[in-house]
Amino acid sequence: MAFYLQNESISYFDTVILDSLSLEIKKGEKVALLGKSGSGKSTLIKRLYELKKDESSYIPQELGLVNNLSVFHNVYLARLDDYSTFYNIRNLIKPASKEVEQIKNILIDFDLEDKIFVKNHDLSGGQKQRSAIARSIYNQKDILLADEPISALDEYLSSKVLEVLNQKFETIVCALHNVDLAVEHFDRVIGLKNGKVLVDKKCTELTNEDRQKLYYVCD
Map out the domains of the chain with their CATH numbers: 3-218 (3.40.50.300)
Residues lower than pLDDT 50 in the chain: none
Partners of 58 in the beta sheet?
A: 145
- Closest-CA residue to 129 (of 63, 178, 68): 63
pLDDT digits (tens, 9 = 90+) for 17-33: 888 899 999 999 999 99
Q: How far apart are CA 152 and CA 161, in angstroms?
A: 12
Q: How far apart are CA 44 and CA 151, in angstroms?
A: 18
- Whole-model pTM? 0.95
pLDDT at residue number 8: 87
CB burial of residue 175 (10 Å; 0-12, 13-18, 19+): buried
* Apex 92 CA angle, 89 and 94, nearest 5: 100
- DSSP character for 143? E
Q: How far apart are CA 43 and CA 140, in angstroms?
A: 24
Burial 93-121 (b: 16+ CB within 10 A, else e): eebeeebeeebbebbebbebeebbeeebe
**Alpha helix locations (H) across 60-207?**
71-76, 85-93, 97-108, 125-138, 155-168, 179-185
H-run or E-run covering 175: strand 171-176
